[in-house]
């Protein structure tokens, strides 16, 4: 049975705990206070013994660290991948089974870089006996989607969420494991591989988990609903003895199924003598918005702590998103609106004031398909592609992501190449207005003839025609920052944020069933729940159509129709 607490409640620091808390409940406030209380009361901490605090995003890491202030020196606040790489993979990399073929001397951190190149793919096709696969872009997309998961017998296997094809042929499941082996031989470690190797090391070397327990007598995990089964298995091994484990989360905000997270993970996680608690407060939203939130779920009924009565949430009927957004802005006057959507293409098109219907979300990826990078053309499109990505990320002030894109232009360890690409990036930023509305071919000429990149000449033919037919701005619209801070975001990137006024884009009227069905087992409903719960004062839902039945249903829930 779960005990109801609030964000200021004090719990026993030597007890495993599970705290369920809905949006706006103040769970981060509670977690920071619990950490401070543990630092103050515990006799098990010292210079080499810290509290581990794991959360899901770098933004959340920064927020918790900032709230802890000087106390953060005794707390390891980190994402799960960064923590495991630092404390398991990196220090014990020599214990990784040689049978995996990982070139440990070449490993330099972990990222999402996919091994590619004409020869690499040719070798992979030969090794897996799939030489009939010609669509290299589809193969690379399949590699990108593959992740580690437990099979029915508890063995870790790597495969995508659904079968992938190339040139009309199915990609064989065992061939993803071959890809991993070939990448490891080059010292490439993907983010997901950190989980694979950490689990393997911990499971097969009991001394490693003993050392982790000794270094971290307390292990707290925020946003636990976003963990996947491999992470859960690792945490259970750590929590079997000595270390106190505490988890905080909300199953209704579990929206990362594509990364392996499961809806029932929070409820099913348990350790011996673990106590369960619930925070039922909502300190964020108006009474009207909290009322809507309570109608969409049955497990937690939140109480509005603000006691602020505001304006009824609005459903805005508009044939296109831009006109709907204008209606919302008129209703809000001079106040800022934050627009949230499920699809990247909608968020990006709204950022650039484009119509989503005319926005080609795959234009940039199509470049690599139409002009496949290879040694024959001196990887022409890869250079063009990564300069576009770097330019647009810099313009979004995403410097780390921009530099990561640039690193794919020069060879690893090439200091001169790195310096040149950085200088060239500055040149291109200075000339942005001159090429942003011009053809991709013109941008290519700048790269080749003015910045002197050694890429093949575009002569007559389909590839040149393609470059001439595309506008740079079309490509730029496809660039997505890994973490956004603008007024238009995807719902996944807005998780953890809160805004005064929120507009949520529903692309189809059928999506309004979210408000009428009360079924949080459906992930699409949980995604919408996360979106509407970001709103503090005003909430707008834009839908392209609204039938009479849905209209009456929504009005009965407290919505006003515009």
In this structure, what token pair is assigned to residue 50?
């810290």
One domain, residues 491 and 474: no
Examine residue 363 and state whether it is found in any structural domain, yes or no: no
Torsion angles phi and psi, residue 504, rounded to 5? -110, 125
Q: Is residue 510 annotated as involved in ligand binding?
A: no
One domain, residues 85 and 210: yes
Torsion angles phi and psi, residue 553, rounded to 5? -65, -45
- In three-state secondary structure terms, 249 is strand
Low-confidence ranges of the chain (pLDDT < 50): 354-355, 358-359, 481-485
- In three-state secondary structure terms, 172 is coil
Examine residue 197 and state whether it is found in any structural domain, yes or no: no
One domain, residues 255 and 399: no
83 within 8 A of 238, measured Cβ to Cβ:
no
Q: Is residue 24 annotated as involved in ligand binding?
A: yes
One domain, residues 217 and 71: yes
Examine residue 464 and state whether it is found in any structural domain, yes or no: yes
One domain, residues 123 and 29: no
Examine residue 519 and state whether it is found in any structural domain, yes or no: yes
Examine residue 198 and state whether it is found in any structural domain, yes or no: no
- Tell me which of 192, 225, 253 is where a domain ends: 192
Q: Strands 165-166 and 535-543, how do they pair? A: unpaired
Q: Is residue 286 annotated as involved in ligand binding?
A: no
Residues 6+ apart with CB under 8 A from 210: none
Could you say which DSSP state residue 385 is in? H
Q: Is residue 23 annotated as involved in ligand binding?
A: yes
285 within 8 A of 535, measured Cβ to Cβ:
yes
Give dist(CA 239, CA 94) in Å, integer: 25
Examine residue 116 and state whether it is found in any structural domain, yes or no: yes
248 within 8 A of 221, measured Cβ to Cβ:
yes
64 within 8 A of 55, measured Cβ to Cβ:
yes
In this structure, what token pair is assigned to residue 361?
């979300």
308: number of Cβ within 10 Å: 14
In this structure, what token pair is assigned to residue 526?
């949980």
Smallest CA-to-CA distance from 472 within 445, 442, 431, 446 is with: 442
Per-residue pLDDT, 460? 81
316 within 8 A of 328, measured Cβ to Cβ:
yes
Q: Provide the H-helix boundaries in 296-431.
A: 321-332, 344-351, 363-370, 380-395, 399-406, 415-430
Per-residue pLDDT, 281? 96
- H or E segment and range at residue 558: none
Per-residue pLDDT, 358? 47
Q: Is residue 27 annotated as involved in ligand binding?
A: yes
- Tell me which of 168, 192, 216 is where a domain ends: 192
Examine residue 294 and state whether it is found in any structural domain, yes or no: yes
The residues facing 17 across adjacent strands are 246, 275
Examine residue 366 and state whether it is found in any structural domain, yes or no: no
Q: Is residue 127 annotated as involved in ligand binding?
A: no
One domain, residues 151 and 59: no
DSSP string, 91-122: TTGGGS-GGG---GGG----B-PPP--HHHHH
One domain, residues 472 and 494: no
Smallest CA-to-CA distance from 83 within 98, 66, 61, 101 is with: 61
One domain, residues 465 and 397: yes
One domain, residues 239 and 291: no
Torsion angles phi and psi, residue 541, rounded to 5? -115, 120
pTM for the structure as a whole: 0.77
513 within 8 A of 552, measured Cβ to Cβ:
no
One domain, residues 382 and 304: no
Place of tokens 């929120």: 502
Burial class (CB in 10 A: 0-12, 13-18, 19+), 463: middle
Query: For residue 264, what are the domain limits?
Result: 3-89+205-279
Q: Is residue 28 annotated as involved in ligand binding?
A: yes
- Tell me which of 279, 305, 337 is where a domain ends: 279
Per-residue pLDDT, 346? 62
Q: Give the count of domains, the chain.
A: 4
One domain, residues 186 and 269: no
One domain, residues 322 and 230: no
Per-residue pLDDT, 482? 42
Smallest CA-to-CA distance from 512 within 446, 561, 440 is with: 561
């Amino acid at each position: 049975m779960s005990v109801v607490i609030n964000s200021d409640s004090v719990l026993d620091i030597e007890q495993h705990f599970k705290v369920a808390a809905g949006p706006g409940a103040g769970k981060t406030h509670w977690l920071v206070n619990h950490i401070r209380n543990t630092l103050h009361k515990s006799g098990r901490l010292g210079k080499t013994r810290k509290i581990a605090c794991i959360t899901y995003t770098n933004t959340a890491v920064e927020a918790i660290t900032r709230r802890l202030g000087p106390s953060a020196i005794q707390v390891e606040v980190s994402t799960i991948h960064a923590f495991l790489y630092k404390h398991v993979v990196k220090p014990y990399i020599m214990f990784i089974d040689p049978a995996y073929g990982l070139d440990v001397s070449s490993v330099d951190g972990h990222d999402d870089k996919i091994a590619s190149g004409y020869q690499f793919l040719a070798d992979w096709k030969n090794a897996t006996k799939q030489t009939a696969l010609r669509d290299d872009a589809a193969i690379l997309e399949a590699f990108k989607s593959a992740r580690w998961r437990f099979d029915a017998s508890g063995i870790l296997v790597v495969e995508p969420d659904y079968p992938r094809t190339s040139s009309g042929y199915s990609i064989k499941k065992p061939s993803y494991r071959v890809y991993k082996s070939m990448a490891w031989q080059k010292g490439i470690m993907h983010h997901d591989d950190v989980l694979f190797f950490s689990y393997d090391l911990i499971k097969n070397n009991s001394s490693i988990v003993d050392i982790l327990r000794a270094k971290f007598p307390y292990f707290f995990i925020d946003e636990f609903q976003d963990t996947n089964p491999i992470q859960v298995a690792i945490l259970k091994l750590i929590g079997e003895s000595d270390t106190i484990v505490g988890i905080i989360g909300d199953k209704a905000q579990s929206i990362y199924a594509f990364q392996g997270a499961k809806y029932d993970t929070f409820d099913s996680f348990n350790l011996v003598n673990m106590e369960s608690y619930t925070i039922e407060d909502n300190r964020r939203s108006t009474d009207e918005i909290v009322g809507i939130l309570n109608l969409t779920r049955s497990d937690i009924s939140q109480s509005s702590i603000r006691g602020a009565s505001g304006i009824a949430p609005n459903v805005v009927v508009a044939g296109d998103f831009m006109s709907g957004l204008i209606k919302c802005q008129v209703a809000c006057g001079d106040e800022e609106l934050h627009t949230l959507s499920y699809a990247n293409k909608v968020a990006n098109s709204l950022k650039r004031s484009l119509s989503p219907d005319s926005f080609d979300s795959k234009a940039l990826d199509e470049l690599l398909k139409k002009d496949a990078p290879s040694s024959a053309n001196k990887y022409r499109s890869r250079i063009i592609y990564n300069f576009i990505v770097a330019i647009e990320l810099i313009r979004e002030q995403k410097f780390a992501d921009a530099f990561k894109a640039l690193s794919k232009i020069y060879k690893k360890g090439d200091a001169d190449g790195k310096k040149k690409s950085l200088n060239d990036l500055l040149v291109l930023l200075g000339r942005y207005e001159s090429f942003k509305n011009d053809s991709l071919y013109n941008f290519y000429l700048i790269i080749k003839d003015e910045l002197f990149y050694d890429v093949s000449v575009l002569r007559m033919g389909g590839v040149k025609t393609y470059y001439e037919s595309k506008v740079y701005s079309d490509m730029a619209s496809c660039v997505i920052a890994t973490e956004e801070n603008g007024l238009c975001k995807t719902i996944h990137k807005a998780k953890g944020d809160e805004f005064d006024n929120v507009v949520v884009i529903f692309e189809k009227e059928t999506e309004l069933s979210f408000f009428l069905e009360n079924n949080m087992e459906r992930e699409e409903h949980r995604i919408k729940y996360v979106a509407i719960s970001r709103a503090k004062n005003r909430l707008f839902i834009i839908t392209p159509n609204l039938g009479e039945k849905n209209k009456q249903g929504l009005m009965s829930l407290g919505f006003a129709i515009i």
